[in-house]
Amino acid sequence: MSDMKSIFEVSIFDRFGLEVSTGSDLHACSNYFTDENLGYISNILQRRSYRRFTDQEVSEELRTILVSCAQSASAKSDLQQYSIIDLRDQAKKDEMAKLCDIAWLSESPVLLVFCGDIRRAQRLCDMRGLSYAQNTLDSFMNAAIDAALAMQTMVLAAESLGLGCCCISQVRKRLTEMANLLNLPNGVFPIAGFVAGWPNEERDISQRLPSSIVLHQDKYDDSNLSSEIDKYDRRRHEARPLRNQINSSKYGTASFYGWSENVARRLAENSDLDNIKNFLNEKGFDLT
């Protein structure tokens, strides 16, 4: 327990670049902290994505635990509207790496695709002789949220076991081919891939926005955005400067290139993942 103060201070400095003295507040609530939950919280505060793994396999036992943890996530109305495709076949992993344009995916010890899934609920209605009446945008969103919560729960479980992981939105780059590769029927859509293995690289913690931007008291208020973002850009730059400026031939070379400039340049271009609406409508969703 004596390490409680330093765990939080170090983690919060790494994550937010903030020097905080949390000792006295934490002392007041020290009844809540045990070594186990301190470890759990500090794992979350210090989490980071990994993309390079050793050749060591992830055992079947660990895989079972990871899936069980993912399935323990909360789910809208207990409907559990997601499916997970576990890619084991090397030819399929290679094909997936190609479709995502990420070569290293094929070497990933664990390679999963988390999918939103309203087909199961449709089939349940069918099995019970009722007609499904909820082919709505809300159902799409519930299924996407269920899948995302299951995926992030798996991430946290994997990381607490010492595994490294990364989510992969690039599975939505070539949706039709991806759906064919995974044999996805109507009502099932990929939200993200998930890779995991034993880390084989050093990664920094990625600094997050300050809570003054993300957390709003009683009502939404972003009047401080501009000044707070400037500070955030500077802090991030000090910890981990961005070396490559996006599309400098079009946008010029900025003398100071921070997170917000990088985000703005990314979002000023069309995304290559933006064909989802057509894909979903072809897959039996009614999103018009």
Ligand X SMILES: Cc1cc2nc3c(=O)[nH]c(=O)nc-3n(C[C@H](O)[C@H](O)[C@H](O)COP(=O)(O)O)c2cc1C
Residues forming the site for ligand X (CB under 6 A): 48-49, 51, 166-170, 192, 206
- The residue whose two tokens read 């917000």 is 260
Per DSSP, the three-state class of 82 is strand
State the nearest-atom distance from the C-beta of 262 to ligand X, in Å: 11
Nearer to ligand X, 158 or 167 (CB): 167
State the nearest-atom distance from the C-beta of 59 to ligand X, in Å: 24
What gap in Å lies between CA 198 and CA 189, rounded to an integer?
28
Nearest residue to 283 via CA among 204, 208, 211, 178: 178
What gap in Å lies between CA 50 and CA 196, rounded to an integer?
8
What gap in Å lies between CA 71 and CA 65, rounded to an integer?
10
Structure tokens at 160: 């607490």
State the nearest-atom distance from the C-beta of 193 to ligand X, in Å: 7
State the nearest-atom distance from the C-beta of 114 to ligand X, in Å: 9
State the nearest-atom distance from the C-beta of 24 to ligand X, in Å: 29
Spell out a b/e string for 210-237, using b for 16 or more CB atoms within 10 Å of the CB, else e: beeeeeeeeeeeeeeeeebbeebbebbe
DSSP 3-57: THHHHHHHHHHHHH------HHHHHHTGGG--HHHHHHHHHHHT------B-SPP
Nearer to ligand X, 58 or 151 (CB): 151
Nearer to ligand X, 5 or 48 (CB): 48
State the DSSP H helix or E strand holding residue 166, giving kind and residue range, or none if neither: strand 164-168
Nearer to ligand X, 11 or 170 (CB): 170
State the nearest-atom distance from the C-beta of 51 to ligand X, in Å: 6
Nearer to ligand X, 26 or 184 (CB): 184
State the nearest-atom distance from the C-beta of 218 to ligand X, in Å: 29
Nearer to ligand X, 154 or 188 (CB): 154
Nearest residue to 80 via CA among 114, 120, 112: 120
State the nearest-atom distance from the C-beta of 217 to ligand X, in Å: 26
What gap in Å lies between CA 207 and CA 233, rounded to an integer?
10
Nearest residue to 45 via CA among 266, 220, 166, 208: 208
